[in-house]
Structure 1
Amino acid sequence: MSSTTTTTQPKRKADDNNQKPQRFTSRNPPWTYFKLQLVQDHPTNQPLDALTARTYLTSALSQFRGLFGTAISIDILKIGPDPGSQNETGSVSQEKIVWVRVPREDAPDVVAALSSWIGGGAMSVAWRICARGNYLGSLVQGSGGGLFVS
């Protein structure tokens, strides 16, 4: 003997299709985003690579906070020219721009470390903080689609 079970879907009301959009507010975003520019006393045409950028960032954090500074997690999102910036000739600027993401609670230490660091060696380098925000979309001014286009 077999039994058959049938289920019925609840009927929709006519006003279910006209629901209001739901909104939410993120009060404590987990990340802070930075747009950084590498400033050199003798600019070169050599592009900035991820290893060099990571070395400079780690050096700045190590000088400011020691071992605790090197433990700060920094995610490099993109290295390259700013997709929205153009120089006087209309071509994309060759500035060495780095987009990074750090945990929100470590952002003040990162700002202090990067703004006070000057790298030594054959040529002096430093970081300039161009923009900072808790939402990536607010930094790229627009949809953000150009940020991840190479």
Structure 2
Amino acid sequence: MWKARRRPTLQTRGFATVEVLVAVAIVVLIGTISVLALGRSDRASLQNDVAEIALLLQQARLRAAETGQPVFVEYSETDRVVRTEFTAHELDRAVASPTESTRISIRPSGENEGLNLVLVAGAHERSVELDWLTGQIRLSQ
């Protein structure tokens, strides 16, 4: 019933070259997938922040037109926040901005001092521009 164990011979010790190659291929495949997923998350974070800031600026413009009073929009480089008197948006941790801190007022007519906020995430860059005369919001690709 019991079988005697045989001692390993030289042929059964260690890993075969094929086994090592398969393990290396699996590690490379997992690394590639994770790098691609990280790039997508940077792009998604950037896209989300651009959309949120554009919405915040549009709301500020509408509030100024409704109330007849100027609305102040402020970007803080140190806090990484775009805020108005009624709302604020903090940039995602993956998103940075080389734009200096600034404060503008949006008048009821839509006129303002103009704003060009550049956002960067990894190798991706987008900007949100507020036209100084018309108050139109433009997003760059």
When the two structures are superposed, what TM-score results if normalisation uses the length of structure 1?
0.26
**Higher helix residue share:** 2
Greater Cα radius of gyration, structure 1 or 2: 2
When the two structures are superposed, what TM-score results if normalisation uses the length of structure 2?
0.27
